[in-house]
C-alpha cells in the first residue's frame, strides 16, 4: 500500500494515518478535510504527508472515510464513483445500516468495506490522533461478502497489522447492539453532566467534591456534538429504545427508594455486580 | 501517634492504615472488623499489625471508623464511650448528617471529627487497600468547631501528611452536594449496567462490542451493595431529588429525539461540553 487517502483527519482517521505510516514504511498519506485548519494541523503534526482534494482517490490503494456519519451517507457515492478497480474504500463510522443501504446498488460496491473500530477517546480533531489506538481493539465488519475478495484480504491484513481482532455482523444487528454498549453510555454521561452543572449554578463549589468516580461517569460528556448528533439521528429507533429501558430502570430504582424498599435496592446492585466479570472479559 | 485502631479494615480504613504506617514509623495498627476473614487478610497483607477488640480503643491515639454508614450510626456512641481524653476518633463515611446528629450531645463529642475523603475505587475489602490513595485528594470536614482544638490539629497534621487538601462544610450541605457528584454517578452506572445486562440475555456477544467508553461509564457498578445501600438509605431525600432531575433530563433528551429535534440534541451536548474545564479543575 503506497497511496492512502484519509477523508476526515480527526481522531479515528488521523490515528489510522499514524498507524499506517508506522506499519507501511513507503506509504504516503493524503489528507482530505472540509476544515483547512484541521488539514494544516494534521500536516504540522505529521499525521498526514500531503493536503489533497477528493480527486486524489482515483489511483489510491486505500481510502479511509472517517467523517460524521451523515456526511458519509451524503458523500460516499461520489467517493465510490472515483475509485479504480484496486482501490479499497473503508468507512469507519459508528452506524452501519444507513451507509450500507445507500451504496448497496452502487456499481463499485465491491470496492467498499463497512467497518467500525471499537476504539476512541472523548477527544476529537487531528490533535487527538495517536499511534497504537487500535491495538488489541475490536473491528466490527459488516456485509463482508459484498466486498471483493482481494480487497477483503487487503483490509484484514491492515487490521491485523495494527493489532485488531475481527468480528463479523450484519448492519442491523450492529446498530441495535452498539446503541446499548456505546450510544446509551454517551447520553447517560451527557445528561449526568448536565444534571450536575445545572445544580452547580445555584450551589457553588460543588465540583470541589467530585472525585474519580464522577470523572469516570461523565468523561464521555466531553465528546463532540458534531460527531454524535448525526449518530443519534441515524440510529434513532434503537437509541430511543435503549433510553426507554434505561429510564425505566432508573425510575424503578427511585420508586424502591421512595418506598423504603432497600432490600430491593441492594439486590438491584448485587445483580448488576457481575458486570465485573463481563468487563474483565472485554478489557 | 503510636497506637492506632482502625475499625473496618476495607478499602478506606486499610488505605489509611498503610499510609499511617508509612508516615508514622513507630505507629502500631490495631484492626477491628466484624469479619474474621477480613482481619486475617489484613494481617497477612500487613495492612494492620494486630487483630483487636473494641476495648483497645481506651488508650489509643487515633481511631478511624471506616464501616458502612448504618453501622457507624449504630456503634459510634459506644466507641466514644470508651475513649480517653486524648483519643481522636475520625469517621470517614460517605454521609455526614446522620452521624453528626447521633453524637451531637455525646459527652465526648469533642473527641470526634466527621470527615469524608473524596477518594476510593470500585473495589472493597482489605485487598483493595493501597498506599497513596489519598495523595492529592480532597478531605471534607464537617462541624470542625465541635472537635477539641488539639485533636483538630492532630487530624489536620495527619491529612496533610498523607497529601490531602481540606474543605470545610456543614453536614447538610455535604450530603446534598455529594448526592450529585457521587451518589448519582453510582446509580447511573448500576442502572446502565443493568440495562445492558438485561439486553444481553437475549442478544449474545453484545459485550464483544463494548469499548473503553462503556467500561468508563459502568465501572462504578462493580461497587459493593453492602456499602452503598446504607448510603442511599441515609441520604434518601437528596438522592431521590438528584434521580428525579436526572430522569427528567434523560426524558427530555428522548423527547427531542422522538420529535426529530436534533438541533436541540446538539445544543444539549454542546452546553454540557464545558464539563471539560470543570474536570480539568478537579483532577
DSSP for A119-175, written as a single string: ---S--SGGG--TTTTTT-EEEEE-GGGS-HHHHHHHHHHHHHTT-EEEEE-HHHHH
The H or E element containing residue B244 is helix B236-258
Q: How high is the pLDDT of residue B282? A: 56
CA dist., res. B141 & res. B139, Å (int): 6
Q: How high is the pLDDT of residue B278? A: 77
Among B136, B140, B212, which would you mutate to test the A interface (most chain A Cβ atoms within 10 Å of its Cβ)?
B212
Q: Are the beta carbons of A70 and A46 closer than 8 angstroms? A: no
CA dist., res. B88 & res. B80, Å (int): 10
Q: Residues of B with CB below 8 A from A216's CB?
A: 185, 216-217, 219-220
Please report how the helices A184-202 and B275-282 are oriented relative to each other, as an axis angle in degrees rounded to 10.
70
CA-wise closest residue to B11 among B42, B36, B54: B42
CA distance B234 to chain A (A): 11
CA-wise closest residue to B220 among B266, B182, B169: B182
Checking if the pLDDT of A202 tops 70, the result is: no
Q: Are the beta carbons of B9 and B31 closer than 8 angstroms? A: yes
Q: How high is the pLDDT of residue A279? A: 76
Q: Burial, A89: exposed, middle or buried (Cβ in 10 Å; 0-12, 13-18, 19+)? A: buried
Phi, psi of B66 (to 5 degrees): -135, 70
Q: Is A150 on the interface with B (CB under 8 A)?
A: no
Cβ-based contacts under 8 A for chains A and B: 305
Q: How high is the pLDDT of residue B204? A: 62
Residue B101: CB atoms within 10 Å: 11
CA dist., res. A279 & res. A78, Å (int): 41
Q: Residues of B with CB below 8 A from A273's CB?
A: 221-222, 225
Q: How high is the pLDDT of residue B250? A: 98
Nearest CB neighbour to A249, from listed B194, B218, B229: B194
pLDDT in tens, A134-180: 999 999 999 999 999 999 999 999 999 999 999 999 999 999 999 99
Residue in A with minimal Cα distance to B140: A209
Burial A219-253 (b: 16+ CB within 10 A, else e): bbbbbbbebbbbbbbbbeebbbbbbebbbebbbeb
Instruction: Quote the ipTM score.
Output: 0.92
**Complete domains list, chain B, with CATH:** 3-169 (3.40.50.720), 174-282 (1.10.3660.10)
Q: How high is the pLDDT of residue B228? A: 97
Residues sharing a CB contact under 8 Å with residue A193, sequence separation 6 or more, in sequence order: A218, A221, B272, B275
Q: Is B125 on the interface with A (CB under 8 A)?
A: no
| More confident of the two residues A193 and B201 | A193
Nearest CB neighbour to B254, from listed A138, A199, A243: A243
Local confidence pLDDT in tens for the 283 residues of chain B: 899 999 999 999 999 999 999 999 999 999 999 999 999 999 999 999 999 999 999 999 999 999 999 999 999 999 999 999 999 999 999 999 999 999 999 999 999 999 999 999 889 999 999 999 999 999 999 999 999 999 999 999 999 999 999 999 999 999 999 999 999 999 999 999 999 999 877 666 777 788 889 999 999 999 999 999 999 999 999 999 999 999 999 999 999 999 999 999 999 999 999 888 877 765 4
- Look at A118-127, A274-283, B173-182, B258-267 and tell me which has the smallest mean pLDDT: A274-283
Q: CB B254 to CB A242 under 8 A?
A: no
pLDDT in tens, A226-258: 999 999 999 999 999 999 999 999 999 999 999
CA-wise closest residue to A64 among A134, A140, A9: A9
The H or E element containing residue B46 is none
pLDDT (mean) for A64-71: 97
Q: Are the beta carbons of A140 and A169 closer than 8 angstroms? A: yes
CA distance B39 to chain A (A): 23
CA dist., res. A223 & res. A183, Å (int): 12
Burial B113-130 (b: 16+ CB within 10 A, else e): bbbbbbbbbbebbbebbe
Among A180, A219, A262, which would you mutate to test the B interface (most chain B Cβ atoms within 10 Å of its Cβ)?
A180
Please report how the helices A236-258 and A225-234 are oriented relative to each other, as an axis angle in degrees rounded to 10.
100
Q: Residues of A with CB below 8 A from B272's CB?
A: 190-191, 193-194, 197, 221
Q: How high is the pLDDT of residue A206? A: 75
Q: Burial, B262: exposed, middle or buried (Cβ in 10 Å; 0-12, 13-18, 19+)? A: middle
Dihedral, CA atoms, B171, B177, B182, B187, nearest 10 degrees?
A: 110
Beta bridge partners of B166: B139
Q: Is A172 on the interface with B (CB under 8 A)?
A: no
* CA distance to A282, B93, B149, B236, per residue, from B98 (Å): 40, 11, 23, 12
Residue A134: CB atoms within 10 Å: 22
DSSP states along A207-226: GGG--HHHHHHHGGGGS-HH
Nearest CB neighbour to B195, from listed A119, A121, A245: A245
Q: Which of the four pLDDT bands, split at 50, 70 and 90, describes residue A275?
A: confident
Q: How high is the pLDDT of residue A143? A: 98
DSSP character at residue B208:
G
Region of B238 on the Ramachandran plot (φ > 0 left; ψ -120 to 50 alpha; else beta): alpha
Q: Which of the four pLDDT bands, split at 50, 70 and 90, describes residue A282?
A: low
Amino acid at each position: 500500500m503506497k497511496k492512502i487517502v484519509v477523508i476526515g483527519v480527526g481522531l479515528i482517521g488521523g490515528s489510522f494515518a499514524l498507524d499506517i505510516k508506522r506499519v507501511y514504511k513507503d506509504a504516503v498519506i493524503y489528507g482530505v478535510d472540509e476544515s483547512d485548519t484541521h488539514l494544516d494541523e494534521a500536516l504540522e503534526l505529521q499525521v498526514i504527508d500531503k493536503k489533497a482534494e477528493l480527486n486524489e482517490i482515483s489511483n489510491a490503494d486505500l481510502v479511509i472515510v472517517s467523517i460524521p456519519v451523515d456526511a458519509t451517507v451524503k458523500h460516499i457515492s461520489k467517493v465510490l464513483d472515483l475509485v479504480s478497480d484496486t482501490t479499497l474504500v473503508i468507512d469507519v463510522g459508528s452506524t452501519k445500516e444507513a451507509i450500507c443501504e445507500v451504496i448497496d446498488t452502487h456499481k463499485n460496491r465491491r470496492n467498499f468495506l463497512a467497518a467500525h473500530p471499537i476504539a476512541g477517546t472523548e477527544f476529537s480533531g487531528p490533535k487527538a490522533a495517536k499511534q497504537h489506538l487500535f491495538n488489541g481493539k475490536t473491528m466490527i465488519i459488516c456485509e463482508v461478502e459484498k466486498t471483493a475478495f482481494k480487497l477483503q484480504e487487503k483490509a484484514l491484513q491492515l487490521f491485523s497489522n495494527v493489532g485488531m481482532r475481527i468480528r463479523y455482523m450484519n448492519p442491523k444487528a450492529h446498530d441495535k447492539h452498539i446503541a446499548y454498549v456505546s450510544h446509551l453510555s454517551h447520553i447517560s454521561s451527557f445528561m449526568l453532566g448536565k444534571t450536575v452543572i445545572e445544580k452547580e449554578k445555584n450551589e457553588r463549589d460543588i465540583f470541589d467534591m467530585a472525585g474519580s468516580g464522577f470523572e469516570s461517569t461523565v468523561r464521555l460528556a466531553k465528546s463532540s456534538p458534531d460527531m454524535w448528533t448525526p449518530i443519534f439521528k441515524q440510529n434513532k429507533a434503537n437509541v430511543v429504545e435503549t433510553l426507554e429501558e434505561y429510564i425505566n430502570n432508573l425510575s424503578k430504582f427511585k420508586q424502591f427508594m421512595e418506598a423504603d424498599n432497600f432490600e430491593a435496592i441492594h439486590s438491584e446492585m448485587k445483580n448488576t455486580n457481575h458486570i465485573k466479570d463481563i468487563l474483565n472479559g472485554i478489557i
